């Protein structure tokens, strides 16, 4: 249902608040007088990351640093879930990035409903609902990050399913839809549906879900999975699976732990983040995660095969071409959370086809696309030792020489933050009472500080890359986790005593785990701000050109932004860059879409939204007009305001 922003009573605000919100959205932080704009050539956004390599860049240039202050809301669209699924929305994360291709805008809800919209008005063209069970409490909540488009080579224009939308569901289905009608493709799987979990020995239906979109190229659809963390040692396999894009027939599977040769007892090492494809090379790039369980690895001694790696596979056969490990023997949930970005990087004057992989540690690895060898050199550096009983730690971990780490990693008692002496003293005690030896401090029975926390540094939003400027734009979060190992015999009692704290069994291990964000008595982080930053990195030199706080505490604690200035806030979602020199980003745990000057990081505009925007925006040009679209629905794990809308901004 498309409508104008003024009609926000639907999301529970009164008429006065509606008018105020509309005025904010229309004027943002700039003048009301519109500037004349020139018509633009049509530009699509046909893939989740803009292109199949995930550069999140558009050549659109109608919206510029000079006129971005004049952006206004062009249309909005509601999925209807706020009214129809209010209870399920409490467990949902609205993370979708739309795609625009073939004259239609395609979007998905956290409940895997798919909609085709008119790109200029937001008018619904068709919808498809796979009717997932909304009573199941999945590990990631209800999540859908996007959709994949594919045109069958040689298919007659207008024939059934000549153009397809591939989607995956929280309940583990791969579905092919006719892009023109939204109906399932009859020749694919069983009436358009493939059961990705067929034959997988699940203990619980919440144990495995599909959250990130598939990728499709060379007639092959590749699907990853999300596996619930910290439940058991012998977790289900994190195998990546491939299917024929026409028939749905299984083609190959790849288990990252197979490289260990059966020498470890573990599971998972799955791929929950988006993947990338180099069509010319016929390669698909996987960001793999940690082997199970996350915080004790005594039964998986060694390097965990191709877990915590960037892996390049032949997309037609599933044969491994190369793998590069970003963490050895992971005990920190430092899996690779972001889509590998494929870009040509002019490192020190030599153009190299590269893979850029951001990490939760705030590191950025730059790898050769053909071999996986580091383009920017990587050092193995000593890290803290002395793990829990039965643990054998890696003596070193890999660190790229450039750029410098984008998130702090050492937290001492003297660093404790607090608005009052009482609050700061409480944080000092918590830090002083835990083991805190810097990044890669091993989990312990005493309690260890994991800093950056397991939500980042970087997370699933990834980065944006401007090849002409040779600049990567990347957002990071900075919080600390306190992770405490609990003897297995005491896990049940610990969970009963603290039902609101994350305590997981790690069944089969001698220890369960307890994880919480390190906060003071007022609920603020114990580590000093900034808690969220947007960075620009010159990939010719590895130098950080600028970084600026991202987001405010306005929607976390109304009124606090007058005291907590320039702190930034945690963020989930990523940036996009445009040829005109703008970086658009939502992500922050407040209710804004922002535009920054790509040259210097100055905030140029922000548009107020009806709910949180923990998602990555996209942009396209339709009938001469450039639009920027963001999902505004909030996120269950950030307590941001919940909603069900897509908001499109454009110049008057």
Q: Are 105 and 630 in contact (CB under 8 A)?
A: no
Point out the residues that are catalytic: 333
Q: Is the distance from CB of 445 to CB of 390 less than 8 angstroms?
A: no
Classified as helix, coil or strand, 637 is coil
**In 10 A of CB 461, how many CB atoms?**
31
What is the distance between the alpha carbons of residues 537 and 458, in angstroms, rounded to a whole number? 14
Coil, helix or strand for 23? helix
Q: Note whether 114 and 165 are within 8 A (CB).
A: yes
H or E element that contains 143: strand 142-143
Burial (CB count <10 Å: 0-12, 13-18, 19+), residue 3: middle
For 602, other C-beta atoms within 10 Å of its C-beta total 12
3-state secondary structure 401-453: CCCCCCCCCCCCHHHCCCCCHHHHHHHHHHHHCCECCCCCCCCECCCEEECCE
Instruction: Return phi, psi of residue 83, to 5°.
Output: -85, -40
Using the structure block, give the residue that is written with the tokens 């698909």.
284
Contact 264, 245 (CB under 8 A): no
Residue labelled with tokens 């979602």 = 573
Q: Which residues contact 578 (CB under 8 A, 6 or more apart)?
A: 57, 58, 59, 60, 61, 63, 584, 619
Helices (H), 462-510: 491-497
The Cα 351–Cα 549 span in angstroms is 31
CA dist., res. 448 & res. 481, Å (int): 8
Considering only CA atoms, which of 167, 150, 159 is closest in space to residue 212? 167
Query: What would you report as the CA-atom Rg of the chain, rounded to the nearest whole angstrom?
Result: 23
647, 610 in Cβ contact below 8 A?
A: yes
Residue 544 sits at the vertex; the CA angle it makes with 543 and 545, to the nearest 5 degrees, is 100
Pair of tokens at residue 323: 């793998």
Q: What angle do CA 519, 523, 525 make, to 5 degrees?
A: 40
For the chain, what's the residue count? 652
Strands (E), 144-207: 148-151, 163-168, 173-178, 193-195
């Amino acid at each position: 249902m498309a409508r104008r922003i003024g009609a926000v009573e639907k999301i529970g605000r009164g008429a006065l608040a509606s008018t105020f919100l509309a005025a904010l959205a229309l004027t943002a932080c700039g003048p009301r007088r519109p500037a004349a704009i020139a018509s633009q050539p049509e530009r699509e956004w046909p893939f989740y990351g803009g292109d199949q390599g995930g550069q999140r860049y558009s050549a659109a240039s109608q919206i510029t640093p000079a006129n971005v202050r004049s952006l206004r809301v062009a249309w909005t669209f509601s999925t209807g879930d706020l009214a129809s699924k209010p209870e399920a929305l409490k467990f949902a994360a609205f993370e979708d990035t739309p795609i625009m291709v073939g004259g239609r805008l395609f979007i998905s809800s956290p409940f895997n409903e798919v909609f085709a919209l008119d790109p200029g008005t937001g008018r619904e063209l068709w919808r498809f609902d796979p009717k997932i069970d909304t009573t199941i409490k999945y590990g990631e909540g209800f999540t859908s990050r996007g959709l994949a488009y594919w045109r069958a080579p040689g298919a007659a224009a207008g024939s059934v399913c000549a153009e397809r939308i591939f989607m995956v569901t929280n309940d583990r289905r791969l579905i092919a839809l006719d892009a023109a009608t939204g109906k399932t493709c009859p020749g694919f799987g069983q009436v358009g549906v493939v059961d990705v979990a067929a034959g997988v020995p699940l203990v619980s239906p919440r144990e495995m879900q599909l959250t990130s979109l598939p990728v499709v190229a060379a007639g092959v659809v590749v699907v990853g999975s999300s596996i619930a963390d910290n439940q058991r040692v012998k977790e289900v396999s994190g195998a990546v699976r491939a299917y024929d894009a026409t028939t749905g027939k299984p083609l190959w599977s790849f288990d990252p732990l197979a490289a260990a040769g059966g020498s470890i007892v573990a599971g998972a090492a799955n791929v929950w983040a988006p993947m990338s494809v180099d069509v010319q090379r016929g390669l698909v790039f996987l960001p793999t995660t940690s082997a199970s369980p996350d915080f004790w690895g005594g039964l998986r001694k060694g390097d965990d095969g191709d877990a915590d790696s960037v892996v390049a596979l032949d997309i037609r056969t599933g044969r491994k071409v190369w793998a590069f490990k970003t963490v050895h023997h992971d005990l920190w949930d430092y899996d690779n959370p972001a889509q590998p970005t494929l870009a040509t990087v002019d490192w020190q004057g030599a153009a190299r086809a590269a893979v850029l992989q951001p990490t939760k540690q705030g590191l950025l690895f730059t790898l050769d696309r053909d071999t996986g060898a580091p383009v920017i050199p990587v050092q193995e550096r000593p890290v803290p030792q002395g793990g829990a009983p039965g643990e054998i730690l890696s003596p070193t971990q890999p660190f790229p020489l450039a750029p410098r780490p984008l998130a702090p990693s050492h937290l001492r008692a003297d660093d404790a933050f607090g608005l009052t002496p009482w609050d700061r003293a409480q944080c000092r005690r918590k830090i002083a009472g835990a083991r805190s030896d810097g990044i890669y401090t091993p989990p312990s029975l005493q309690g260890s500080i994991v800093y950056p926390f397991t939500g980042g540094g970087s997370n699933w939003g990834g980065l944006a890359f401007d090849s002409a400027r040779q600049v990567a734009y990347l957002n990071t979060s900075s919080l600390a986790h306190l992770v405490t190992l609990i003897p297995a015999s005491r896990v049940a009692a610990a969970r009963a005593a603290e039902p609101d704290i994350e305590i997981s069994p790690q069944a089969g291990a001698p220890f369960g785990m307890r994880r919480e964000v390190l906060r003071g008595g007022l609920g603020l982080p114990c580590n000093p701000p900034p808690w969220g930053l947007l960075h620009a990195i010159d990939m010719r030199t590895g130098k950080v050109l600028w970084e600026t706080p991202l987001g405010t505490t306005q929607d976390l604690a109304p009124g606090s932004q007058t005291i907590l200035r320039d702190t930034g806030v945690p963020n989930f979602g990523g940036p996009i860059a445009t040829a005109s020199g703008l970086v658009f980003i939502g992500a922050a745990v407040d209710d804004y879409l922002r535009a920054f000057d790509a040259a210097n990081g100055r905030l140029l505009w922000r548009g107020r939204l009806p709910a949180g925007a923990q998602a990555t925006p996209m942009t396209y040009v339709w009938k001469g007009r450039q639009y920027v679209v963001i999902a505004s629905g909030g996120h269950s794990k950030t307590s941001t305001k919940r909603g069900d809308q897509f908001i499109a901004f454009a110049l008057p």
